[in-house]
Copies of this chain bind each other. A is one copy, B any other.
Amino acid sequence: MLAFVCFIFVCCTCFMCFTFYAAIHFIICGDHCSLTYSAGALGGGMMLQGLSVDSSGPSFTPLVVVELVSDAKEETIGWLLNKIRDQQHDGGAELLVEQLGPGVGAQEKENPNLFLVGATWQRLLSGAEDVGLFKESTDGSMRAFTCANKHNFKDFGGDGDGFLSMAECQYIIKHELDTLRAKDETHVPGYKQAKLYPGKSIIRRLLSKRILIQIFPLHDKEELKRLSFSWYKKVKLSLQPLDDIRHYYGEGQALYFGFLEYFTFALVPMALFGVPYYLFDWEDYDKYVVFAVFNLIWCTVILELWKRCSASLAYRWGTLSRKKAFEEPRPGFHGVLGFNPVTGREEPLYPNIKRQLRIYLVSLPFVLLCLYLSFCVMMVYFLMEGWALSVYDQEPTFWTGVLLFIPSIIYAVVIEAMNLIYRYAAEFLTEWENHRLESSYQNHLVLKVLVFNFFNCFASLFYIAFVVQDMVLLRQSLATLLITSQILNQFMEAFLPYWLQRRRNKKMIRKVQKRRILEDKELPLAEQVRLEADMSTYLGTFDDYLELFLLFGYVSLFSCVYPLAAVLVVLNNVTEVYSDAFKMCHVFKRPFSDPAANIGVWQLAFEAMSVIAVVTNFALIGLSPQVKTYFSDSETHLILWTVAAEHGLMAFKFILTFLIPDIPKHIQIKLARLEFESLEALKKKRQLHGGKCLKPRSSGRWCSEEERRAYKY
């Protein structure tokens, strides 16, 4: 037993060292690479001012890059550029676009078909109205921006200079490009096989036919430098600069970091509660009832409070009451051409019944099969565990003691590998299910991945807790799983991409240096764009949320038997903030901002987990020797009381969900005021209109009583 305790401590210490190493590494290395990286910084700053020092620079501020395949036909390129440049009433996007000049060392390998897209300031403002952007008005409330009332908005000085953030401008340009629609073209010029029909989004067709490689927004070096400094490059006890993150990356990202921060703070009381528990009651397995009760209440309350937090943030950022635009089909969606019953436009239709069949006859059995496989792997793990134990019992040396932990570590690695493979399979299957909307695709993917990951990560713990009923083994497994998966995650998520990117980065700098002497260590625009085009694409917050979801599971389900779990998760989250921030700033292409109003389907997932946590914790309480002594005469009574208490708490949980309003009072009032004002305005308009329509009649025609009667009312 002593060996076990020692090992856990060693593990923890290792992890903490690792954590601090990581943090410090980031601080120092972050600065270092910002040096090599800020090569492009001033160039970016100049870019923003539109002073193109480089001969290859465009005559406007580039915001978004469009990359076509290198062998794209001339006629296609010309057609696309015309579409982008055309006036809006001719069906164009009325944007500015220029080809990126060749780099310093223009090689044959370089793709010449990179285009920089920008827009005039006026065009961006009218685009802001199109996408329904919410901005703070002079009276402090958030309102949908309109060109007509532009001077009623805060920060709209002069001609609106600096009113829209760069991320917003880029989002607007993406929206305008996305809604470029075919008129009477039957196919993309130059590509007979790329069919078009009136109303089809051109960009989506080009993407799905792989004529268009990617569209991505450019980084703003100056701002990125400032952001990364305030975010992770100083050792500080302050909060994350959420507003700046939102300003640079958009609401979806900022909400993720907001949630990560909130979750970390929410864990602090549990961690504080857990440490003395861990230190003083270590061998007293009975005493976890108090901790389980604490867990129960904790996980119910924090999720409710997060909803309010999230609503506050979303209101401040103007996404809470922003109306969603009508969703276009996904680029990969295919089907027989028909008429959409909602829009009346021609678009591919795919019968829902076919999709349902694919889901229930293929995807569901596949998921079940995977779960079964995962179950088999778990059983093998228990066999290995048993074998290791028997070896240790026969010959209890230090090495056989270490051997005890080998199965757990192997199992943790296998789990991570299975999760990874399954993830690809799930993506393939969900793609094959052919969902029309991106949101529906995402929901199905999340569901598939969640179920499997949940089972994979927690099945063994449930098995140990409720079938084997061995709390010592449970504690040991939990610690191993938690620590191994955290180390693996940090490695896979941040370090691996970081090293890869660093190598690429260095290569580019070397290449530039070879050709020309850099005076101020800056990359010219063309190189900068090419460098960013080569960076990995950020695939959204999916994996980040999934990781938090699993951590939340470890903490809420089983932390009562291993009170240090909360501490480990807090440490992990702190490094997670740093590694995620670093990854966002230096490893990935800048993502387009995503005007999210909440964390979406993940709120539901976390709530489902908290329900499972209530059940699990009550079951653990029922199993605890402490409780069992109270009901020493009758096991039946013990179970009945536990079940009754569980039902009571579950009812209380649901009542609490109703009682705590999801949106804080002061925001509710502001929203109601907006709605009231629009209703009043409508009424006034109607009365003016109605009065006009009513007056001539009521004065002239309706005066005689006989006529009035003839109209019955």
Contact = CB atoms under 8 A, between A and B. Distances in A.
A708 B120 contact: yes
A422 interface: no
A709 interface: yes
A705 interface: yes
Interface of A: 48-51, 59-61, 63, 88-89, 94, 118-124, 126, 129-130, 146-148, 159, 161-162, 164, 169, 323, 325-326, 341-344, 615, 635-636, 639-640, 643, 647, 669, 672-673, 675-676, 679, 683, 686-687, 689-691, 693-694, 697-698, 702, 705, 708-709, 711-713
25 contacts: A48-B712, A49-B709, A50-B708, A59-B708, A59-B709, A60-B713, A89-B687, A94-B694, A120-B698, A121-B711, A122-B693, A123-B694, A126-B690, A129-B686, A130-B683, A130-B686, A146-B686, A147-B690, A161-B712, A342-B673, A343-B676, A344-B673, A635-B635, A636-B636, A636-B639
Nearest to A59: B705
Contacts of A124: 713
A701 to B, nearest CB: 9
Contact of A640 (B118, B341, B639, B708): B639
Contacts of A636: 635-636, 639
Given A636-B636, A686-B130, A326 B711 contact: no
A126 B694 contact: yes
Given A643-B643, A686-B129, A121 B61 contact: no
Contact of A647 (B51, B615, B676, B687): B615
Contact of A687 (B88, B164, B698, B711): B88
A698 B121 contact: no
A606 to B, nearest CB: 15
Contacts of A342: 669, 672-673, 676
Contact of A690 (B60, B119, B129, B697): B129
Contacts of A148: 689
Contacts of A709: 49-51, 59-60
Contact of A88 (B89, B162, B691, B702): B691
B126 A686 contact: yes
Given A50-B709, A635-B635, 15 more contacts: A50-B712, A59-B709, A120-B698, A121-B711, A121-B712, A122-B694, A122-B702, A126-B693, A126-B694, A147-B689, A162-B712, A325-B679, A635-B636, A639-B640, A643-B643
A666 to B, nearest CB: 9
A342 B89 CA distance: 40
A691 B124 CA distance: 13
Oligomer copy total: 2
A673 B326 CA distance: 10
A123 B702 CA distance: 11
Nearest to A50: B709
A147 B697 CA distance: 14
Contacts of A702: 120, 122
B122 A698 contact: yes
A120 B341 CA distance: 40
A609 to B, nearest CB: 13
A633 to B, nearest CB: 13
Given A61-B713, A161-B711, A326 B50 contact: no
Nearest to A118: B713
A615 B676 CA distance: 44
A639 B640 CA distance: 8
A678 to B, nearest CB: 10
Given A147-B690, A639-B639, A61 B712 contact: yes
A25 B474 CA distance: 72
Contacts of A118: 713
A174 to B, nearest CB: 15
Nearest to A146: B686
A713 B61 CA distance: 5
A105 to B, nearest CB: 29
Given A130-B686, A643-B639, A711 B325 contact: no
Nearest to A697: B122
A2 B141 CA distance: 75
A327 to B, nearest CB: 10
A712 B89 contact: no
A673 B344 CA distance: 9
Nearest to A158: B711
Contacts of A713: 60-61, 63, 118-121, 124, 164, 169
Contacts of A326: 672, 675-676, 679
A49 B615 CA distance: 68
Contacts of A119: 713
A702 B125 CA distance: 14
B129 A712 contact: no
A350 to B, nearest CB: 15
Contacts of A690: 88, 126, 129-130, 147
Nearest to A655: B608
A639 B631 CA distance: 16
A31 to B, nearest CB: 30
Contacts of A679: 323, 325-326
Among A123, A341, A675, A711, the most chain B Cβ lie within 10 Å of the Cβ of A711
Contacts of A343: 673, 676
Contacts of A325: 679
Contacts of A691: 88-89
Contacts of A51: 709
Contacts of A88: 687, 690-691
A135 to B, nearest CB: 16
Contacts of A640: 639
A129 B615 CA distance: 52
A522 to B, nearest CB: 20
Nearest to A129: B686
A360 B386 CA distance: 56
Across the A-B interface, give the 3 residue pairs with the lowest CB-CB distance, nearest first.
A126-B690, A50-B709, A342-B672
B708 A60 contact: yes
A692 to B, nearest CB: 10
A669 to B, nearest CB: 5
Nearest to A635: B636
Nearest to A694: B122
